[in-house]
Amino acid sequence: MRTVISKGLLAATSVAAVIAGVGVAARYAPSPAEASPSASTSPLSDDRIADVAEAVVNSVVNVSTTREVDSGPWASDPFFNDPRSPFYQAPDERKASSLGSGVIVTAQGRILTNAHVVQGADDIKVTLSDGTEFDAKLIGTDPRADIAVLQLKGDLPRLKPLPFADSNKLRLGETVLAIGDPFGVGQAVTMGIVSAKGRASVGIEDYEDFIQTDAAINPGNSGGALVNLRGELVGINTAILSRSGGYQGIGFAIPSNMAKPIMDMLVKDGKVTRGYLGVNITRVTRDLASKHKLPATQGVLITDVVENGPAARGGLRSGDVVIAVDGAPMTDPGQFRNLVAMKGAGKPVELGVLRAKGRDQVRVILGELPDEKTMQRMQRQRQQRQQRDDDGN
């Protein structure tokens, strides 16, 4: 189960079984259901909830994986490696398994799930609601946002994909249903509300914009669907916040407006290309503004600018406070990172910046986000330069 306990991230694994549990904008065309005013204005009732649940439950599948395990007593102990030993285990017996959920998003068998559900998998199988099992091919993963795309193999029956909703239109308190395959027992539906939106600094993924819900999410629900009462996909369930390791009323889902463009990039290019500004940032607080005499008490502070990076070329400076991106107010560093990343490489971005002499508009052409190894190397180089500067003073 992907569970956040206080500030830590736990993953429960074993050789016999790994239950991958509950665990990141594009143009949007409204579905016919959303265009109908009656779909959003009809009163909430048990019948309406039941109708939606029955309509969407067959669009959620079980995802099971197996992978060969390289760790364990057999890794270095000849008693397990020697075929003559009574304790010998053949390679095909050294398997770990994982259970999760997925969502059918096309009639041709495309499945959207979490990256951690299929991480390291040698074999992926998808079981439909009627018990039919299919092999699945991994199209691509984006671990930074915890999204993966699968494609069912073979002769497929008639599938019922879930339509995507515009998750930006979700309202606080709106009723949602969480559908998944908890503990591998089969499809199950729970109900709750949208508790919060735009949770961008939870610390679970590199890129976050979570929908928070109190709909019960349990081990095995990772990759399952969060739907509205129009029967549309608003999010992919991915994590819970808990001090006990079990469900405590705080669950997180990757919004559809984040999941869909990532899926489209994985299908098209096999990878996700994010925009890159080349800065270090932190949230502006009143204390920080007072201590450093900043020109604003809220916003996103640029603490460092990468030499020769996109931000440096565009004229951003350390000490600038970004208060808007393309006209949208900006107060949270996670929100800022997400927006820049999803703009994409080569795209222009207009930043509203506060400086000592007043407000400026800074236009930057974004670069392409480097891979993690390159980012780590750049970070080490910045630290070394900073150390040299400190030594020189």
- Strands 95-104, 60-68: pairing kind: antiparallel
Distance CA 52, CA 48 (A): 6
Q: Are strands 110-113 and 18-19 parallel, antiparallel or unpaired?
A: unpaired
The CB-based long-range contact list for 302-305 (8 Å cut-off, 24+ gap) reads: 303/279, 304/279, 304/280, 304/382, 305/278, 305/279
Tell me what pLDDT residue 24 has: 26
Domains and CATH numbers, the chain: 1-28+44-70+94-271 (2.40.10.120), 275-392 (2.30.42.10)
Give pLDDT tens digits for 174-207: 999 999 988 777 889 999 999 999 888 787 888 8
Q: Catalytic residue among 64, 116, 166, 320, which?
A: 116
pLDDT at 22: 30
CB 276 within 8 A of CB 367: yes
Show the CA angle centred on residue 198, arms to residues 226 and 45, nearest 5°. 40
Q: Residue 16: which pLDDT band, with cuts at 50, 70 and 90?
A: very low
Whether 201 is catalytic is no
pLDDT given at position 292: 83
Q: Looking at this protein, which amino acid is placed at residue 56?
A: V
pLDDT top residue among 334 and 103: 103
Torsion sign (Cα): 306, 307, 313, 318: positive
For residues 305 and 313, what is the distance between their CA atoms, to the nearest angstrom? 10
Alpha-carbon distance of 158 to 108, in angstroms, equals 9
Name the residue type at position 183: F
Mean pLDDT for 315-327 is: 93
Among 10-14, 184-188, 326-330, 357-361, where is mean pLDDT lowest? Answer: 10-14
The reply to whether 146 belongs to the active site is yes
Which residue do the tokens 């067959």 mark?
Answer: 58
Give the pair of three-digit tokens for residue 315.
Answer: 């004229």
Closest by CA position to 22, among listed 213, 231, 199: 213
For the segment 147-177, what is each residue's pLDDT rounded down to a tens digit? 999 999 999 999 999 999 999 999 999 999 9
Q: Which of 97, 101, 146, 242 is catalytic?
A: 146
Using CA atoms, how far apart are residues 6 and 208, in angstroms rounded to an integer? 17
pLDDT digits (tens, 9 = 90+) for 44-95: 677 899 999 999 999 999 999 987 655 555 455 554 455 555 545 555 555 5
- Residue 12: band (very low, low, confident or very high) from pLDDT cuts 50, 70, 90: very low
Task: From the candidates 222, 242, 256, 320, give the one annotated as an active-site residue.
Answer: 222
Mean pLDDT for all residues in the chain? 81
Cα angle 286, 289, 293; round to 5:
145
Residue corresponding to tokens 């150390």: 387
Residue 219: both structure tokens together: 């081990």
Instruction: Report pLDDT digits (tens) over 238-280.
Output: 988 777 666 778 899 999 999 999 999 999 999 999 999 999 9
pTM of the model: 0.76
- 116: annotated active-site residue: yes
In this prediction, residue 39 carries a pLDDT of 44
| Higher pLDDT among residues 314 and 385, named by residue | 314
